[in-house]
């Protein structure tokens, strides 16, 4: 009754609200919602437990941002919950199994998601035109509605293949995405950063019809343990929209499979001499990148049929080492062959502040995790060393990390001024850079596309257009110069 009187006085609503019951309900709801605003559970728990490392605005500090859309250890709620519950001990992410209940953790994940949505997680609509120093550019949506597209390659002018990480190979015919994915492709482990990764068309496709895939492959679980996984390379053909004639070109020895779900690599490229190169990330085992008897943290080279080239630098080594071309590579997700020199270039994700562009030479050691320009994500030093004799220096490194992903030399005359320049994609910074390379140096670096979503892959199409694969929402855009 008191509340009723007070409210009616306060709001002068006596004449409007005749029924006391409504007023009481209104008062009750007001108090309740006020209580909720003052004490949202997720936020309270966050500020108490997490803010000192991930920042009070969730945007990072001593540890990585939780709202930049980059999830290194899995982007689904289940992974995020698990990372909170069990921690990532070797990186300094504590476990909260003892101190937080499952419902606390659910509230935290919800709070992180809400905060993520607030910071413009949805990029602005893609414009029809953009300007760069050299060209005014028309931007078209080539395909949309994809789910985590990872890579694009072209069979011919009218046919593109796109991988979707959850495990689908899609065909785009005359600019139209075919509804039905290619049937019967190998089963992939769609967890964390794993899934269906790269697709590459044989340079002699017209004669042989081969298509190459890279994906994360899981072994059968032993005694109900978490299945072990590693990057695997296969080739096959597409007939009647079905994957056939599959050959496994590379499968790691099973003792080299790992339980983690990140840092798989993996790009596939061919050089002018017919060799096939692919990358495997260190799978979260940094020190193993230095061990040339293990496949992780390496660039590998094989013949297109899976046999091992005589001239491979570690051919004398045990079987695991024979395919290795370079080592000490953390997680390469961009590889391209220079159209004139035939040399292999690669971009690799570093830790905080250590993304690298490297010219990959046979038998060389690229230093991870003995030397690096990056720090651990919690800000602790991995190593003071940035140089060491016998270890290669990057041609360029990005500090802070832009999260390099996707790489291609622009090799057409449509954008005449950009011929043989290097297109570099970036997830975190949502951009495509164009680098002028002379011999083994970067002479100039400009951003040509930025702010429309995380970039997974960049590619010169057979029509000379530049194709950019955006992660979220899953879209491929096509850039052509404006003639006017
Ligand atoms: C002592 C510092 C510290 C505290 C406290 C901490 N974290 Fe972390 N957290 C880390 C580090 C370091 C990582 C690893 C980051 C990396 O390598 O990307 C991490 C990673 C994570 C990840 C995985 C991020 C990804 O990219 O997949 C999540 C999710 C996360 N933390 C949530 C939380 C939450 C929620 C709390 C509070 C309950 C919390 N953390 C408290 C240091 C901390």
Looking up tokens 């978490």 gives 226
Looking up tokens 């990186």 gives 91
88 and 14, same domain (yes or no): no
Q: HSE-up of 393 (CA within 13 Å, CB side)?
A: 9
Closest CA to ligand 1's atom 6: 50
Dist CA 444 CA 456 (whole Å): 22
Atom of ligand 1 nearest to the CA of 62: 2
425-477 pLDDT, tens per residue? 999 888 999 999 999 999 999 999 998 988 999 999 999 999 999 987 899 99
pLDDT over threshold 80, residue 63: no
Structural tokens at position 352 = 């905080």
Spot the catalytic one: 263, 300, 338, 349.
263
DSSP 112: H
What local confidence, expressed as pLDDT, does residue 20 receive? 54
pLDDT over threshold 50, residue 302: yes
What local confidence, expressed as pLDDT, does residue 165 receive? 95
386 and 436, same domain (yes or no): yes
What range defines the domain where residue 21 resides? 2-38
Residue that is last in its domain, among 86, 118, 150: 118
Ligand 1 contacts CB of residue 371 (under 6 A): no
Q: What percent of the chain has pLDDT over 90?
A: 68
Residue that is last in its domain, among 118, 145, 169: 118
**Structural domains in the chain (count):** 3
What separation in Å is there between the alpha carbon of 77 and the centre of ligand 1?
14
pLDDT over threshold 80, residue 203: yes
- Arithmetic mean of pLDDT, 123-144: 94
Instruction: Verify cis geometry, omega within 30 degrees of 0, for the bond prior to 369.
Output: yes
323-332 pLDDT, tens per residue? 999 999 999 9
Confidence of residue 121 (pLDDT cuts 50, 70, 90): low
Residue that is last in its domain, among 96, 118, 140: 118
- Arithmetic mean of pLDDT, 275-283: 97
What separation in Å is there between the alpha carbon of 110 and the centre of ligand 1?
15
Residue 124, domain member (yes or no): no
351 and 477, same domain (yes or no): yes
**Catalytic residue status for 263:** yes
246 and 367, same domain (yes or no): yes
Q: What's the first-to-final CA gap in the chain, in angstroms? A: 75
Residue 20, domain member (yes or no): yes
Q: HSE-up of 162 (CA within 13 Å, CB side)?
A: 35
395-433 pLDDT, tens per residue? 999 887 888 999 999 999 999 999 999 999 999 888 999
Ligand 1 contacts CB of residue 471 (under 6 A): no
What local confidence, expressed as pLDDT, does residue 144 receive? 96
Residue 123, domain member (yes or no): no
- Arithmetic mean of pLDDT, 162-187: 97
What local confidence, expressed as pLDDT, does residue 8 receive? 46
Q: What percent of the chain has pLDDT over 70?
A: 89
165 and 133, same domain (yes or no): yes
pLDDT over threshold 90, residue 139: yes
pLDDT over threshold 90, residue 32: no
Contacts of 316 (CB under 8 A, 6+ apart): none
């Amino acid at each position: 009754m008191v509340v009723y009187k007070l409210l009616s006085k306060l709001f002068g609503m006596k004449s409007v609200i005749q029924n006391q019951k409504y007023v009481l309900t209104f008062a009750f709801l007001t108090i309740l919602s006020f209580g909720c605003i003052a004490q949202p559970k997720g936020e309270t728990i966050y500020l108490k437990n997490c803010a000192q490392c991930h920042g009070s605005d969730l945007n990072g500090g001593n540890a990585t941002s939780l709202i930049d859309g980059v999830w290194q250890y899995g982007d689904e709620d289940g992974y995020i919950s698990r990372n909170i519950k069990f921690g990532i001990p070797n990186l300094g992410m504590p476990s909260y199994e003892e101190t937080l209940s499952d419902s606390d953790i659910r509230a935290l994940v919800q709070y992180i998601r809400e905060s993520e949505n607030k910071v413009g997680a949805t990029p602005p609509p893609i414009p029809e035109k953009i300007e760069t120093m050299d060209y005014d550019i028309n931007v078209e949506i080539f395909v949309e509605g994809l789910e985590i597209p990872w890579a694009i390659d072209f069979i011919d002018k009218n046919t593109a293949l796109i991988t979707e990480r959850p495990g689908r190979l899609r065909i785009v015919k005359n600019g139209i995405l075919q509804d039905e994915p290619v049937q019967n492709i190998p089963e992939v482990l769609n967890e964390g950063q794993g899934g269906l990764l790269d697709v590459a068309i044989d340079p002699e496709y017209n004669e042989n019809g081969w298509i190459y895939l890279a994906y994360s492959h899981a072994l059968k679980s032993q005694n109900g343990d978490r299945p072990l996984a590693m990057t695997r390379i296969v080739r096959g053909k597409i007939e009647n929209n079905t994957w056939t004639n599959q050959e496994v070109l590379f499968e790691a020895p099973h003792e080299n499979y790992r339980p983690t779900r990140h840092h798989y690599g993996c790009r596939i490229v061919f050089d002018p001499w017919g060799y096939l190169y692919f990358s495997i990330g260190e799978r979260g085992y940094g020190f193993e990148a230095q061990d040339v008897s293990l496949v992780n943290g390496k660039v590998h080279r094989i013949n297109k049929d899976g046999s091992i080239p005589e001239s491979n630098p570690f051919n004398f080594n045990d079987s695991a080492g024979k395919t290795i071309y370079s080592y000490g590579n953390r997680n390469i997700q961009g590889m391209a062959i220079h159209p004139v020199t035939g040399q292999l270039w690669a971009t690799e994700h570093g830790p905080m502040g250590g993304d690298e562009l490297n010219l990959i030479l046979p038998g060389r050691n690229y230093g991870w995790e003995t030397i690096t320009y990056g720090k651990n994500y919690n800000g602790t030093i991995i190593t003071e060393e940035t140089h060491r004799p016998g270890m290669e220096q990057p041609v360029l490194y990005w500090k802070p990390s832009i999260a390099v992903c996707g790489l291609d030399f622009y090799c057409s005359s449509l954008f005449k001024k950009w011929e043989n320049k290097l297109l570099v994609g970036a997830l975190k910074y949502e951009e495509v850079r164009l680098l002028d390379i002379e011999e083994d140096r970067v002479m100039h670096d400009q951003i040509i596309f930025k702010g429309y979503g995380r970039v997974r892959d960049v590619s010169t199409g057979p029509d000379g257009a530049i194709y950019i694969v955006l992660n979220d929402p899953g879209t491929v855009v096509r850039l052509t110069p404006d003639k006017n």
